[in-house]
């Protein structure tokens, strides 16, 4: 056994045709789109309702959008925020921003006031692309944002005749807040009109950021993760070596994972472009819409989260739909329960690859091999080619621990971020000696397969979304009738975890569950709103008065264990 094999036992379990490393993607990320458009200009790139865009058309639209950005004053390195659901405009804007030499800032359309102010101000985004339906959320904040120009698009911008006309007619009959268009608030079509084509060179793709993605990182404080063209491009290349597909297969990807999340962006925009594949965007997840889309378009690749697979299996109409077209599923964001894995595989006959990643790693670092004989259900799999991983002491870091011993998972590789924007101390704490400290507690077995055991950080995974208890707690402490609040995650079969808050009301206050929920709905994205509320006169504390979150989790686990099946 070589020294390399002893320190990287996973290499022995790669498929015979899987390389141990991949070449660094030393090019602009938009070259993925250019290559697809050069080789397959007439191949469909996007299909949405009655609109179909070829790769040749998508490239032209992206370059005209880039020209429009430059005409409006956006220079290379400028930050352009995109606050859209999964629509063709989101894809066009993303590639157009990169072709203008600017940096894309993908913003969750569910974000409320505090989240928008924090992220957009930190990014210093002077341009915002937003859906008209979201304008009421942006309008009151404009004086407190750095945004100088807003480009407003509508759903009908994504439709062709006659659906676009019918949609406008329907909207005209519904009362809603009108967007005050002027020279700083521009219609999507007017902004792009007669713009010259532009494709700005990227002299240093290894270090030049393409994406500024906000995340709570390992602490819960929102931070902008700077991902370079090479970070994202190399990660796509690493994934393709594992799934073993090429453009010749003519794949189509169902894109229900949100593009504003780096997992959804990678599996819905960059990897499809690398394969010259069709992307089928879904603006929101509705199980019946997914099943109808599968019936109509026969997608071959289905990236999803465990909650998605589980909810589809629960649909009463499932026997009426044929999911046999799906050949490959990629699962991430939360552990995939073994029974869901087996049921979905039996239903589709597809290869299901469970993996692991985080925003700071573009995002994927581990994935199970495609060969079923090399998979370990319940494992996050093996490090991607060119990725190194080890388990270290969770408190001290340092030297790798032996197989079978739990500790913190640390990784390094070409997909690891450039750092956090404007946060050198947090960057130094997370990136140490070239290693990314993930904050996740894991173990590696003798064969180099990794298993996540717990989280060092207090992250809660709700339906595949990251929620940091501190943010929920601080929001509740702003309520005039709340003395203190603590948030934890309660395990649930479908959603992964559900948020529960323990609330200590102020003396004399008469708080109800509905009051707590309503307050959170006003200030937080919907998936951050707790579903369970328990009022307490006091909370378990340490000798120095610190609330013992772990004690509340253990209490909840005991309560769940004592429930009868009927409960």
3 state DSSP class of 398 = strand
Q: How far apart are CA 195 and CA 179, in angstroms?
A: 23
Q: What is the pLDDT of residues 37-68, one digit of tens each?
A: 999 999 999 999 999 999 999 999 999 999 99
CA proximity to 242, closest of 135, 380, 113:
380
Q: How far apart are CA 220 and CA 213, in angstroms?
A: 14
Confidence of residue 178 (pLDDT cuts 50, 70, 90): confident
Q: Is residue 18 scored above 90 in pLDDT?
A: yes
Q: How far apart are CA 312 and CA 290, in angstroms?
A: 9
> What is the mean pLDDT of the segment spanning 299-310?
91
Confidence of residue 499 (pLDDT cuts 50, 70, 90): very high
Phi-psi region of 235 (alpha: psi -120 to 50; beta: other; left: phi over 0): alpha
Look at residue 517 in the predicted model and tell me its pLDDT.
96
CATH topology match: 28-201 vs 460-562: no
User: Taking a C-beta distance cutoff of 8 angstroms, is the pair 473, 489 a contact?
Assistant: no
Percent of the chain with pLDDT over 90: 76
- Domain 28-201 sits in CATH 3.40.50.980: yes
Would you call 196 exposed, middle or buried from its count of C-beta atoms within 10 A (0-12, 13-18, 19+)?
Answer: exposed
| Residues 6+ positions from 176 with CB-CB distance below 8 Å | 133
Q: What is the pLDDT of residues 367-412, one digit of tens each?
A: 999 999 999 988 999 999 999 999 999 888 889 999 999 899 999 9
Q: Is residue 350 scored above 70 in pLDDT?
A: yes
Q: What is the pLDDT of residues 452-470, one digit of tens each?
A: 887 666 778 888 787 878 7
> Which ranges in 181-256 belong to alpha helices (H)?
188-192, 229-243
Cis-peptide, bond into residue 363, ω within 30° of zero: yes
> Which of the 8 DSSP states describes residue 130?
E
Q: What is the pLDDT of residues 237-293, one digit of tens each?
A: 999 999 999 999 999 999 999 999 999 999 999 999 999 999 999 999 999 999 999
User: Taking a C-beta distance cutoff of 8 angstroms, is the pair 527, 467 a contact?
Assistant: yes
pTM across the whole model: 0.87
Would you call 488 exposed, middle or buried from its count of C-beta atoms within 10 A (0-12, 13-18, 19+)?
Answer: buried
Q: What is the pLDDT of residues 75-128, one digit of tens each?
A: 999 999 999 999 999 999 999 999 999 999 999 999 999 899 999 999 999 999
> What is the mean pLDDT of the segment spanning 160-186?
84
The packing angle between helices 31-39 and 229-243, to 10°, is 50
Q: How far apart are CA 128 and CA 149, in angstroms?
A: 7
| Residues 6+ positions from 347 with CB-CB distance below 8 Å | 313, 318, 323
Look at residue 560 in the predicted model and tell me its pLDDT.
81
> What is the mean pLDDT of the segment spanning 527-543?
86
Task: State both tokens at 155.
Answer: 């759903």
Confidence of residue 1 (pLDDT cuts 50, 70, 90): very low
Helices and strands (H and E) in the chain: how many: 18, 28
Q: How far apart are CA 567 and CA 553, in angstroms?
A: 19
Q: Is residue 544 scored above 70 in pLDDT?
A: no
Look at residue 546 in the predicted model and tell me its pLDDT.
62
State the CB neighbour count (10 A cutoff) for residue 21: 13
Q: Is residue 542 scored above 90 in pLDDT?
A: no
Top-confidence residue, 106 or 566: 106
Q: Is residue 474 scored above 70 in pLDDT?
A: yes
Look at residue 493 in the predicted model and tell me its pLDDT.
63
| Residues 6+ positions from 143 with CB-CB distance below 8 Å | none
Q: Is residue 219 scored above 80 in pLDDT?
A: no
Weakest mean pLDDT among 23-32, 425-434, 471-480, 511-520: 471-480
Cis-peptide, bond into residue 162, ω within 30° of zero: yes
Look at residue 158 in the predicted model and tell me its pLDDT.
95
CATH superfamily, domain 460-562, is ANL, C-terminal domain (3.30.300.30)
Look at residue 495 in the predicted model and tell me its pLDDT.
61
User: Taking a C-beta distance cutoff of 8 angstroms, is the pair 26, 19 a contact?
Assistant: no
> Which of the 8 DSSP states describes residue 320?
G
Q: Is residue 171 scored above 70 in pLDDT?
A: yes
Task: State both tokens at 348.
Answer: 């589709």
Q: What is the pLDDT of residues 405-421, one digit of tens each?
A: 989 999 999 999 999 99
Q: How far apart are CA 384 and CA 367, in angstroms?
A: 7
Domain coordinates in residue numbering, the chain: 28-201, 460-562
Look at residue 547 in the predicted model and tell me its pLDDT.
76
User: Taking a C-beta distance cutoff of 8 angstroms, is the pair 456, 440 a contact?
Assistant: yes
- Give 11-27 as a DSSP string: GGGS-TT--S------S
Q: How far apart are CA 101 and CA 202, in angstroms?
A: 7
């Amino acid at each position: 056994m070589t020294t390399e094999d002893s320190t990287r036992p996973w290499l022995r379990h790669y498929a015979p045709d899987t390389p141990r490393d991949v070449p660094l993607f030393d090019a602009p990320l938009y070259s993925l789109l250019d290559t697809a458009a050069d080789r397959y200009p007439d191949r469909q790139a996007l299909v949405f309702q009655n609109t179909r865009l070829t790769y040749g058309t998508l490239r032209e639209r992206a370059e005209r959008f880039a020209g429009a950005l430059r005409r409006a004053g956006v220079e290379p390195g400028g930050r352009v925020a995109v606050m859209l659901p999964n629509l063709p405009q989101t894809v066009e804007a993303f590639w157009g921003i990169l072709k203008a030499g600017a940096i894309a800032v993908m913003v969750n359309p569910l974000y409320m006031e505090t989240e928008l102010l924090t992220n957009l101000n930190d990014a210093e985004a002077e341009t915002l692309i937003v859906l008209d339906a979201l304008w009421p959320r942006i309008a009151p904040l404009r004086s407190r944002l750095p945004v100088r120009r807003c480009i407003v698009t509508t759903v009908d911008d994504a439709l062709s005749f006659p659906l676009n006309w019918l949609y406008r007619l329907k909207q005209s009959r519904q009362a809603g807040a009108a967007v005050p268009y002027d020279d700083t608030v521009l219609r999507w079509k007017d902004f792009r009109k007669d713009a010259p084509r532009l494709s700005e060179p990227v002299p240093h793709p290894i270090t030049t950021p393409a994406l500024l993605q906000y995340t709570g990182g390992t602490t819960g404080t929102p931070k902008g993760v700077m991902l370079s063209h090479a970070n994202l491009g190399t990660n796509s290349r690493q994934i393709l070596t594992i799934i073993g597909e090429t453009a010749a297969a003519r794949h189509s990807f169902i894109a229900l994972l949100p593009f504003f999340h780096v997992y959804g962006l990678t599996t819905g925009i960059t990897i499809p472009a690398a394969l010259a594949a069709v992307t089928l965007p879904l603006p929101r997840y509705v199980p019946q819409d997914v099943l109808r889309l599968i019936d109509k378009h026969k997608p071959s690749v289905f990236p999803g989260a465990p909650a998605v697979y589980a909810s589809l299996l629960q649909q009463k109409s499932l026997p009426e739909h044929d999911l046999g077209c799906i050949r490959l599923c990629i699962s991430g964001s939360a552990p995939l329960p073994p029974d869901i894995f087996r049921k979905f595989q039996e239903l589709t006959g597809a290869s299901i690859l469970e993996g692991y990643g985080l925003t700071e790693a573009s995002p994927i670092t581990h994935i199970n091999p495609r060969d079923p004989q090399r998979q370990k259900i319940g494992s996050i799999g093996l490090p991607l080619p060119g990725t190194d991983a080890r388990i270290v002491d969770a408190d001290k870091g340092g030297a790798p621990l032996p197989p079978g011993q739990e500790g913190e998972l640390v990784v390094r590789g070409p997909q690891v971020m450039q750092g956090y924007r404007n946060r050198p101390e947090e960057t130094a704490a997370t990136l140490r000696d070239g290693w990314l400290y993930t904050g996740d507690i894991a173990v590696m077995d003798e064969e180099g397969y990794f298993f996540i055991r717990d989280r060092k950080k207090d992250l809660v995974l709700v339906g595949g979304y990251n929620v940091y208890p501190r943010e929920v707690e601080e929001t509740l402490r702003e309520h005039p009738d709340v003395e203190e609040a603590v948030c934890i995650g309660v395990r649930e079969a479908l959603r992964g975890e559900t948020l529960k808050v323990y609330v200590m009301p102020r003396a004399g206050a008469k708080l109800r569950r509905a009051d707590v929920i309503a307050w959170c709905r006003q200030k937080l994205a919907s998936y951050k709103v707790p579903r369970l509320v328990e009022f307490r006169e006091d909370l378990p504390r340490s000798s120095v008065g610190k609330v013992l979150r772990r004690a509340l989790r253990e209490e909840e686990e005991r309560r769940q264990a004592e429930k009868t099946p009927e409960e």
